[in-house]
Amino acid sequence: MKTALFLLLLLALGAIPGSLVPQRAADPNGVIQFQREDPELFAVLDALQLFDTYTSVWFSAIYILLFISLVGCIIPRTTHHIKALRAAPPKTPKNLSRLEGYHLVELESGVDPDATVARARQVLQKAGYRTAVYGNSVAGEKGYLRETANLVFHFALVGVLLGLALGTGFKYSGQRVIVEGTSFTNQLASYDSFTSGAFVDDESLVPYGLRLESFEAEYEFDTNAGVAQPLDFVATVDVLREGTSEQRSIRVNQPLDYEGTSVYLLGNGFAPRVTITNPEGDVVYSEPVVFLPQDSNLTSLGVVKIPDGLDEQVGMLGFFYPSAVVLDSGALSSVFPEPQQPVMTLNVFTGDLGLDEGIPRNVYSLETEDMTQIAGGDTGNPAVVLGLGQSAELPHGLGSITFESLPRFVSVDIHRDPTQLPVGISSVFIVAGLVTSLFVVRRRAWIKVVEGGDQQTVIEVAGLSRGDDPGLDAAMDALAKEFSQGAEITLKP
C-alpha cells in the first residue's frame, strides 16, 4: 500500500508538466510556437517527452506500476477479508479486565447461567454484532462493512485507471466551422482540426451530419461600460442520419448530445458571401467567407483566395464591421456586434498563393511575402469598401466583386469521451467507499458470565477496536446497561 501511495504521488507530480507546457495532442500550434520562440529549450523538453506528457514512456511506466501495485494490494486483502467474513468471531480472552471499556455487572443470585448466556447473545445481536458462543461467554464482532468499503474504494480506483487507459484510445475531439445553410458530415476529412486516440478511424465515427439552419445572438448594451453584453447564443441545427432529420438547438454550456457524442458551441461570427466575376462577367468565385472575430463587437478578419479564373492569382485580406462607424481618424470601427450597418473592406494582392506546392495552407491567413499589393495601404489605390448588396471593380481590370449576403457561422467542438461513464461510475464508488470507511468502526465485544461469591453471578463486558475508536467505552457501557436492565453497574477501578 505504501508503494501505491508513493506511485500515486509520483503520478500527480508527473502530470504537472502537462499544465506548464503545451501538449501536442491538445495544442499543436502552441508546441510549434514554443519551438520558434525558444528552439534550444524546446530540444531539451522534447527529449524529455514533456510535450507528450500523458503518453510519454516515463508517465506510462508510473501509470502501469501504480495499476500493478494496486492490484497486488487488493487481491490479498480481498482474500483475507472473505476469510474473515466466513470465520467466527475470535474466542473470549481469559482476562477481559485488560481490555478497553471493561465493565462489571452484578446480577441477582441464583440466575440460570445458560439463560444468561442466551441473554448476552441477544444483547450483542441487537447491537449489530455477529456472535458466537464459547462456553460461558459470547463473542461478537461488527464493522466488516468498513473493510468492504475500503476494498470498494480501491477497486473503484483501479476502475478509474482502467477506464482512462482503455477509453483514451477511443476518445476524439474535432473542431469545425459551419456556415448557415451548409452541412457537416461526421467523418475525418470534414474536420478543420482533429485529435484522437490510437483506435479511432472513419469506421468508429458515428455516421451523422449537422446542418446549421440559423444562429441567433441576444445582446444587452451596458450604458455604464459602453459595451454590448451577450445574453444568449442559440444555434438551431438539423441532425441528419439515414434520410431522417431532427431539429435540435445548441447553447453555451448546453451541448447537443447524440449517439455518444457531444457537440459544444465554441464561437460565432459572420461569413459574408462574396461573388467575384472576371472581366467577361463569368463567376469565378462565389462562397461565404468566414471572418474571425477580433473583439467583442465582432470586428472580424477574413481572407479570400482566388487561384483560378482571373488573369492572375488574387488574394484579399479584409476586415468586416457589423455596425460600422467612421472615427475621427477616418478609420472604420464596429460599435455593436449585430449587423446594423455591415461594411467590408478588402486589401487586394496578386501573385503566387502557394496553393500549387502541395503544402497545406491555413485558409484563415494570407502569406503576402511573395505577393504584390494593388489596393489598400500605400499602393495609391484605395481598399475595396463594400456594404451589403454593393459591388465594386477590382484594380487593374481584374474583374468585379459583390457583397451578396450575410450568413452567420458557428464553430463547434464535437467530442466523444467513452471514459466518462466508467470513470463517473468508479468515482461514485470511490466517494461512497471512502465515506463509508470513515464512519464505520470495526469493533469486537465479549460478554462473559462469571460465578462470584455467595452464589452471585457477575457479568464482564469488554471490547476491542481495530484502529482509533473514541466511542468504544461508551458502546461497552451501553451494552452493560442494556444487559442489566437497570441493575447497578460497578466499574472496575
pLDDT in tens, the chain (493 residues): 788 888 889 988 988 888 888 887 767 777 888 888 888 998 999 899 888 888 888 988 998 898 888 888 889 999 999 998 889 999 999 889 888 888 888 776 667 778 888 888 999 999 999 999 999 999 999 999 999 999 999 899 889 888 887 777 888 888 999 999 999 999 988 998 888 877 888 888 888 999 999 999 999 887 777 788 888 999 999 999 888 889 999 998 899 999 889 999 988 999 999 999 999 999 999 999 999 999 889 999 999 999 888 988 999 999 999 999 998 888 899 999 999 999 999 999 999 888 776 566 678 888 888 899 999 888 888 999 999 999 999 998 899 999 999 999 999 999 888 888 888 999 999 999 999 988 888 899 999 988 766 667 788 999 998 877 888 888 898 888 888 764 443 333 3
Q: Which fold would CATH assign to domain 88-142+441-490?
A: TATA-Binding Protein (3.30.310)
DSSP one-letter string for 105-164: EE--TT--HHHHHHHHHHHHHHTT-EEEEETTEEEEEE-HHHHHHHHHHHHHHHHHHHHH
- Altogether, the residues listed in the chain come to a count of 493
Q: How far is CA 288 from CA 150, 200, 236, in A?
A: 60, 31, 19
Q: Are strands 261-270 and 273-277 parallel, antiparallel or unpaired?
A: unpaired
Output the nine-digit C-alpha cell for 63: 501509470
Helix (H) or strand (E) segment spanning residue 177: strand 172-179
Nearest to 75 by CA among 149, 166, 146, 155: 155
Contact 309, 327 (CB under 8 A): no
DSSP one-letter string for 21-61: S--TTT-HHHHHHHHHH-HHHHHHHHHTTGGGGGGSHHHHH
Output the nine-digit C-alpha cell for 164: 482512462
3-state helix/strand/coil string of 294-334: CCCCCCEEEEEEECCCCCCCEEEEEEEECEEEECCCCCEEE
Nearest to 303 by CA among 346, 352, 333, 355: 346
Helix (H) or strand (E) segment spanning residue 247: strand 244-251
Q: Are strands 256-258 and 137-142 parallel, antiparallel or unpaired?
A: unpaired
Contact 459, 450 (CB under 8 A): yes
Give the span between the Cα atoms of 421 and 163, in whole angstroms.
9
Helix (H) or strand (E) segment spanning residue 217: strand 209-222
Give the span between the Cα atoms of 390 and 406, in whole angstroms.
12
Give the span between the Cα atoms of 402 and 389, in whole angstroms.
7
Give the span between the Cα atoms of 52 and 56, in whole angstroms.
6
